[in-house]
Chains A and B, each alone.
Chain A
Amino acid sequence: MSYALSTLWYDRQRYLPGVLAVGFSALLIALQCGLLLGLFSITSIPVDHTTADIWLGAPEVLSVDLGRPIREASLARLASQPEIERVEIYLQGFSYWSKPDGGTELCMVIGSRLDENALGKVKELSKDLYLQLSEPGTIVIDESDLGRLGVKGVGDHAEVAGNRVRIVGLTTGLKSLAGPYVFCSINTARPLLRVFPDQITYVLGKCFNPKDAATVVSRLKENQNVSAFTSPEFSLRSRMHWLLKTKAGIALGYAAALGLLVGAVVTSQTLYSATAASLREFAVLRAMGIPRWRMQFMVMQQSLFVGIIGVGLALPAVHGLAAVADYFGGRVELPIWLQSIAAIVTLTMALFSGLFALRSLRNVEPAALLR
């Protein structure tokens, strides 16, 4: 075991604040980003919960919920690609929901085909539900939005953009951000979105081989009259748009920076005081001519170990807290890349703290031992 690790283990109570500070920083970064990712994953539900490989929309679409009308003839453009197995039309857009007892609410109408293999049908729509939706004027909403939309449940009526609709079913787990999701058929969606008969929002495509989606998309992108994305691309684009538009990214940056700052200060002070406590011992080594860099290297090793242990403690805690958040209805997404970034950022912070703590070694003065 290295001297750094021996010291760390023996003086663990002294180093504990540093370890906890590093852990706290890693936890803060991972959990906040995870919460934000979870929150904004709601915006990409229409992409993530359907089975299309490719989305074709109006030029420069910023997010799936901000699609603009395109001509239905665009269907042919995607259908003509040799890698495409099948295509279908898709309608999505904001509309106004009039509550039965007065008041309006913004809602997100999604009209898709409703057969079993439909590309735009969210997976939460059971066969029973999508069969019922084939009746004009029927809709399905998520149970979490009942209160927001002022309705009690299945069988209730409301108005969307002046059109009377009837709730025939409820989904679970499809929470909304800007406006509750209203699922219906293409025919029901047209009047709710007030689009012309030959207008749609997206063309969805399925490839024979999903791996070909990127090739098809890059080919379609050469045409400036449309925008095309693979499903993962469109999902990420939608999330990033909302992340940046709502300035939540800035809030996240501040919170993460503050967490890092607190972590850095505590860690560097911990390392500084631990090193300062051994100044006389280091001075003996300096008197014997042992170069200063050896001691500096040991402090840096300690900062690395403090970082590794801190991150090692933080990651299980992050998963535990994410499970707690899930239990209470929150949503935390913790992809591996996010955990890796949190770990790397925090380890870098720990190393910088070590660099800052090196100043204590400047006070190592061998001659002082002889006074």
Chain B
Amino acid sequence: MSTSPNLKSNIKLRSGVSVTSITGKGLFKSFGEGEMQTTAVNDVSIDIKQGEVALMMGPSGSGKTTLLAILSGLLKPDSGKVTALGQDIWTMSEREREHFRLKHCSFIFQGYNLFSSLTARQQLEIVAQWGDGASSREARKKADEILDVLGLLKKAHLRPGELSGGEKQRVAIGRALIKNPDFCFADEPTSALDWAHGEQVIDILRSAAHERGCTVLIVAHDARVIPYADKIFYLEDGKMIDDGGKSIHKTYGKMP
């Protein structure tokens, strides 16, 4: 599925893709206490540039999702610093961080998490209206633009129960992209999809990064995502492994 031309016409392009967008330094996070304590993220540092598609891989329980939650401002690290767009997000107040997320961050989760009672169009409109304070007319216009880009305009009136898994995930992506975010955090966005649909999803996210300058961080198990990433991180037991791709090769086999 090609989305590039439409995306270009709809959404502002950002320049300077080499600018550092988000940085994590010395991040540490553990759960539990005493003997029950487990370390999920252990002294991790990470650096992602604006407009990059960064892929975070690693075996189950390696701490990838925890790291994504820390970088996205949803889970406070025990120590370390996260700088996004030049701002230290973990020294902000809860309200400031919420406002930061409102202005700059979007999320795509493993489950589609769409309101069963709302149409595809309304799933997007609700974000535009409640998030950006758009009027219902503006929200509808924006929603239809995005749905058109995602090839879903004809299904805008359908509810999640009437959409396929791939279509639902595209609606979830539309919901994330309608606010034109600086960051898009995606947790296993293709895990519930067959590869044909999964590839569509990754392609859309890649377009969002390369054409809109959105920094995309994807947590995924699926090795088929690897060719679409600009940068790959590998986590094991909470530690970032930088061995020139050997661990990735070992875990996922030969790189596609």
Tell me, yes or no, whether A314 is within 8 Å of chain B by CB. Answer: no
Tell me, yes or no, whether A244 is within 8 Å of chain B by CB. Answer: no
- Asked if A7 meets B115 with Cβ closer than 8 Å, knowing A287-B74, A290-B130, the reply is yes
- Asked if A281 meets B109 with Cβ closer than 8 Å, knowing A366-B74, A370-B75, the reply is no
Our pick among B107, B114, B116, B122 for the contact of A287 (Cβ within 8 Å) is: B107
- Asked if A281 meets B68 with Cβ closer than 8 Å, knowing A3-B122, A289-B103, the reply is no
Asked if residues B113 and A3 are in contact (CB atoms below 8 Å), the reply is no
Tell me, yes or no, whether A245 is within 8 Å of chain B by CB. Answer: no
- B97-122: CB near A (< 8 Å → 1, else 0) gives 01111110111010101111111001
Our pick among A7, A281, A287, A294 for the contact of B101 (Cβ within 8 Å) is: A287
Q: Could you say which residues of chain A place their CB within 8 Å of the CB of B107?
A: 284, 287-288, 366, 369
Q: Could you say which residues of chain A place their CB within 8 Å of the CB of B127?
A: 285, 288, 290
Task: Give CA–CA (A3, B159) in the complex, Å.
Answer: 13
- Asked if A370 meets B65 with Cβ closer than 8 Å, knowing A278-B115, A288-B131, the reply is yes
Q: Could you say which residues of chain A place their CB within 8 Å of the CB of B126?
A: 3, 285
Asked if residues A289 and B68 are in contact (CB atoms below 8 Å), the reply is no
- A1-40: CB near B (< 8 Å → 1, else 0) gives 0010011011100000000000000000000000000000
Least Cβ–Cβ distance between A193 and chain B, in angstroms = 70
Interface residues of B in 144-172 (CB under 8 A from A): 159
Our pick among A278, A283, A289 for the contact of B98 (Cβ within 8 Å) is: A289
Asked if residues B122 and A289 are in contact (CB atoms below 8 Å), the reply is no
Contacts A9-B117, A289-B102, A370-B66 known; list 9 others, CB within 8 Å.
A7-B117, A11-B117, A278-B115, A285-B130, A289-B98, A289-B100, A289-B101, A290-B131, A369-B107
- Asked if A10 meets B116 with Cβ closer than 8 Å, knowing A289-B100, A289-B102, the reply is yes
Least Cβ–Cβ distance between B116 and chain A, in angstroms = 7
Task: Give CA–CA (A3, B65) in the complex, Å.
Answer: 31
Provide a sorted-by-A list of 11 A–B residue pairs whose CB atoms are within 8 angstroms.
A7-B118, A11-B117, A278-B116, A280-B111, A284-B113, A287-B101, A289-B100, A289-B131, A290-B130, A370-B65, A370-B66
Q: Could you say which residues of chain B place their CB within 8 Å of the CB of A278?
A: 115-116
Task: Give CA–CA (A10, B115) in the complex, Å.
Answer: 11
Residues of B in contact, count (CB < 8 Å): 35
Tell me, yes or no, whether A251 is within 8 Å of chain B by CB. Answer: no
Tell me, yes or no, whether A211 is within 8 Å of chain B by CB. Answer: no
Q: Could you say which residues of chain A place their CB within 8 Å of the CB of B187?
A: 369-370
Q: Could you say which residues of chain B place their CB within 8 Å of the CB of A173?
A: none
- A186-218: CB near B (< 8 Å → 1, else 0) gives 000000000000000000000000000000000
- Asked if A289 meets B75 with Cβ closer than 8 Å, knowing A3-B118, A3-B126, A370-B69, the reply is no
Q: Which residue of A lies closest to B176 (CB)?
A: A288
Q: Which of B101, B114, B117, B126 has the most CB of A within 10 A?
A: B117
Q: Which residue of B lies closest to A4 (CB)?
A: B117
Shortest Cβ-Cβ A-B pairs, 6 listed: A289-B102, A289-B101, A10-B117, A7-B117, A294-B130, A367-B74
Our pick among B75, B109, B117 for the contact of A284 (Cβ within 8 Å) is: B109
Q: Which residue of B lies closest to A278 (CB)?
A: B115
Asked if residues A371 and B117 are in contact (CB atoms below 8 Å), the reply is no
Tell me, yes or no, whether B179 is within 8 Å of chain A by CB. Answer: yes
Task: Give CA–CA (A366, B73) in the complex, Å.
Answer: 10
Interface residues of B in 8-67 (CB under 8 A from A): 65-66
Q: Could you say which residues of chain B place their CB within 8 Å of the CB of A280?
A: 111, 113
Tell me, yes or no, whether A291 is within 8 Å of chain B by CB. Answer: yes
Q: Could you say which residues of chain B place their CB within 8 Å of the CB of A283?
A: 113
Task: Give CA–CA (A294, B74) in the complex, Å.
Answer: 19
Q: Which of B102, B107, B116, B176 has the most CB of A within 10 A?
A: B107
Least Cβ–Cβ distance between B37 and chain A, in angstroms = 17
Task: Give CA–CA (A3, B105) in the complex, Å.
Answer: 23
